[in-house]
Amino acid sequence: MLELTMTLFVAASQSSAELYADLKKLQVVGSALYVAAHPDDENTRLLATLANEQKVRAAYLSFTRGEGGQNLIGQELGPLLGLIRTQELLAARRIDGAEQYFTRAADFGYSKSVDETLQRWNHDEVLADAVKVVRDVKPDVIITRFALEGGDTHGHHTASARLGLEAFTAAADAAFHPELGAPWAAKRIVWNSWKEDPKALTFDSSVFNPVLGLTYGELAATSRSQHKSQGFGAAPIHGPSPEWLIHLGGEPGKSLFDGVDLTWKRVAGSEGLQRLLDQAVREWKPEKPAAAVPVLLKALAAMKVVKGAPPHKLAELERLIAACAGVFVEASASAFSVVAPGPLDVTLTALVRTDAPVKLKEVRLSDGQTVQPGKATLKVEAAPWADFVFDTFTLRREVQFKWVDPTVGERYRSVELLPGVTVKPESALLVFADEKPKTLKVTVTAHADAQSGEVQGQRYSLAKKGDSAEVAIQVKPTTGTLSLGAQTLTRIEYPHIPIQTVLAPADVKLVKVQLARGRVTRIGYVPGAGDEVAPSLRQVGYEVTLLDDEALRSKPLEGYDAIVVGIRAYNVNPRLPSYRTKLMQYVEKGGTLLLQYNTKNRLSDVPPDLGPFPFELSNDRVTDETAELTFDRHPLVSKPNALGPADYEGWVQERGLYFANRWDEKYATPLSMHDPKEEPKKGALLVAKHGKGTFIYTGLAFFRQLPAGVPGAYRLFANLLAHGR
């Protein structure tokens, strides 16, 4: 089971007002769990309100990590996108104050079927994951983002609601997976409806918090805007914002926490603790938070002997004491990477920057070493964390590398545990369109001194850490996998999330395809939101030139046999409409312009005149990657490649998305397809003559198929490029 809470980071400093808010939160013992399918499905306004206004423990359970989605900020798809979206969720939680959990469910892309979702997720395993989270968090209330039936949504969403309701019941059943923890019965489960409902409980999720100086709608906008890979930048809500909660199970109530004691009275033997927390609130001095430390230390001692005290409250109180005392602790590595298991130089820093009565006793490294105060630097086996043990509490810090970025300032990153060498092939895919061998260039990088060996028979010798060398491998045309016998290193770096390091087997996929390019050689490619279509086309012999804004503005286009526009280009490049006249003139003079999918919804829009004649985009899609493709009698299926059923096999994740649903009669729609139990859709491919040339719009998911090496997708794409030539 995959389950994740907050990643360890150096604690941010807090103002006196924020510390006071944390102190008030200590007096509240309740909790709430929000449940949905993907990163970015959560209602950050509601989570922010629960965590900061209701002051309960708030958590979000995302059933998936979002690896089946799309990426607006880069080219990462699949597992790497899931990694980005995981970190975006954690970034959001650091802002709105909630916690983050996951299950092992895989995001396999848009699904129209709840049954398909539950089958591919493995219902029983994922239900057990959700029950484990419920029993760990012990929520008084559970909230689903989606309804149990239908609605304008898809299978993952509905499945998350149904699993949430099942987990509500199963978590309370002592006979259900007793190894997952003691049973826990939440008071009720509700659905956070999207629209007003007369049966719903209502409350305002955007009240103004004078301590924070924000409405929760303002705080939540910053949180939600961390989902940058999905283009979910959000505007702040400066006034009230109602929520509607519809009862799904458990005891009905007149409010979300109706009948729930949110105070320490629910915990036997906590009376003395409550008095100490009340005293700390009464005596709080905003100009001197350290004055609260003595009574908070007494409260900590009292909490430790209360048998039913929630463990997360103990951690909250320890963090508050440290912050009020001005404690700063840090475990700083001498390098950001090391060949496992090390050694690594680590500098330990522990400061108490007030007169608060707290004292460091020792530091315990996760490699087993114990360090007494006064020793600042030591060698460790690349330890992931250090426990700073004070006389009454312990603070854990990840061993991190810190450096000064000249434009950002001080930054931190996790220490990478690396093999002696990593290799990076220039491409993870080789597609052979003829019988000629290809030269694969592979870069070998040393992560320690004196590294030597071979890759596919090609020798390398690297003297120093950081040195690299390039070897060339001749690869014969075949279909299969070329293993380079090492690992490849990928670093994902975006400013809104910590640097992520991924090690994976260095394998290259090999694909043979019978491909005719017709009279098309030179292609101009207009970048969109990020895809691997251009390098995929180069693999099969096309000469591809990227056309940026300057090229579109000032360079002639007539030298290109075809121009391809990348996915979501009109969504991410506001200047693109200004080049429409030039692009249409290119078509009129005999060129082929192929426009890949764009989106039109509440988050993004496109100009009304994408083509030479009107057409409208929709959210229509075909998610079954095995759905039958039916072509009318049309040259696209025969020239220059004669397409047949085998060309439509082996597609990945989906057939296509964001089809047109209305179009001018001048467009031909030669392709029809549909998901099970649906009517045929013809908007995946629009083709029109314009002057001497051809304009094509396609919602087919070439951006997934070509990098995956699907032979039939290459043959179909080649036919689109050559059409009209």
Domains annotated for the chain, with CATH where assigned, are: 30-262 (3.40.50.10320), 327-416 (2.60.40), 419-508 (no CATH), 522-722 (3.40.50.880)
Q: Which of 647, 568, 663, 575 is nearest to 613 (CA)?
A: 663
Residues 6+ positions from 695 with CB-CB distance below 8 Å: 587, 592, 593, 595, 611, 612, 687, 688
Q: Residue 122's CB: how many other CB atoms inside 10 A?
A: 14
| Interval 322-346: pLDDT, tens | 999 999 999 999 999 999 888 899 9
Distance of alpha carbon 685 from alpha carbon 699, whole angstroms: 7
CA angle centred on 667, ends 661 and 671, rounded to 5°: 65
3-state secondary structure of 580: helix
Does residue 493 contact residue 416 with C-beta atoms inside 8 Å? no
3-state secondary structure of 722: helix
Q: How many residues does the chain have?
A: 725
Distance of alpha carbon 513 from alpha carbon 430, whole angstroms: 11
Distance of alpha carbon 315 from alpha carbon 319, whole angstroms: 6
**What are the tokens at 253?**
């109530």
Q: Across the 725 residues of the chain, what is the mean pLDDT of every consecutive 10-residue run? A: 33 85 96 97 97 98 96 93 98 97 96 93 98 98 94 88 98 98 98 92 94 94 96 94 97 96 97 98 97 98 96 96 97 93 91 96 92 84 88 95 94 94 97 97 97 96 97 97 97 96 97 97 96 96 98 96 97 95 97 96 83 96 95 91 96 97 97 95 97 98 97 98 89
Question: Exposed, middle or buried, 257 (CB in 10 Å: 0-12/13-18/19+)?
Answer: middle
| Interval 648-689: pLDDT, tens | 999 999 999 999 999 999 999 999 999 999 999 999 999 999
What one-character-per-residue DSSP string does 378-438 give? EEES--SEEEEEESS-EEEEE-EEEEEETTTEEEEEEPEEE-SEEEEES-SEEEESSS--E
Cα 693 to Cα 163, 561, 583, 610, 670: the distances in Å are 52, 10, 11, 16, 18
Distance of alpha carbon 718 from alpha carbon 716, whole angstroms: 5
CA-CA-CA-CA dihedral for 121, 124, 128, 134, to nearest 10: 80
Does residue 154 contact residue 111 with C-beta atoms inside 8 Å? yes
Q: Which of 608, 551, 615 is nearest to 583 (CA)?
A: 551
**The predicted structure's pLDDT at residue 17:** 93
3-state secondary structure of 448: coil
**The predicted structure's pLDDT at residue 12:** 64
Q: Which of 406, 443, 401, 395 is nearest to 421 (CA)?
A: 443
**Confidence (pTM):** 0.90
**The predicted structure's pLDDT at residue 89:** 98
Question: Exposed, middle or buried, 381 (CB in 10 Å: 0-12/13-18/19+)?
Answer: middle
Is the N-terminal amide bond of 384 cis, ω within 30° of 0? Answer: no
